[in-house]
Amino acid sequence: MNTLFLVSMIVEAIFGIGFIFAPDALLGPMGVTLNDAATTIARMFGSAIISFPVLLWFVRKSDKAEFRMGVVYTMFVYYIVSTILLLMTQLSGQMNAMGWSVVILHGVLTIWFGYYLIKRTTSKVQRSD
């Protein structure tokens, strides 16, 4: 699970910093152009997702099972919602073919976090039998 937390921490740090300091450079290769208002919104989004690496840093150092699973649930919800939104954006033609890389990245992280949720649920069911 620590590997998952580390990978997610790195991904979100890169995107968070990119959205804060260079949203046009981050989104430009995907065919997305921003006006002034959209740039401000992108930077606000970056300020929100930059909190994920902080959370993931602390959870990697924790041995508290409830905290670790709380972070897994939190990140799973974020990734499943973002995957759906990114897929809708991609299918509507708002991003070029490069946009699929972000859709796939979020999809893979959704599945990876989902794996730990399923693993946790099945182990609870087996213990209660």
**Which tens digit of pLDDT belongs to each residue from 5-34?**
999 999 999 999 999 999 999 999 999 999
* Cα–Cα distances in angstroms (integers) from residue 37 to residues 29, 34, 42, 81, 88, in the given order: 20, 8, 9, 23, 22
128 has a pLDDT exceeding 70: no
Which pair of tokens denotes residue 73? 């649930």
What is the residue range of 64's domain?
Answer: 2-128
Which 3 state secondary structure label does DSSP give 92? Answer: coil
Note the pLDDT of residue 72.
96
Tell me how far apart the alpha carbons of residues 74 and 95 are, in angstroms, rounded to a whole number: 27
Tell me how far apart the alpha carbons of residues 127 and 129 are, in angstroms, rounded to a whole number: 6
As for how many domains the chain has, the answer is 1
pTM for the structure as a whole:
0.88
Those residues whose C-beta lies under 8 Å from the C-beta of residue 59, and which sit 6 or more positions away, are 5, 67, 68, 71
**Which tens digit of pLDDT belongs to each residue from 71-106?**
999 999 999 999 999 999 999 999 999 999 999 999
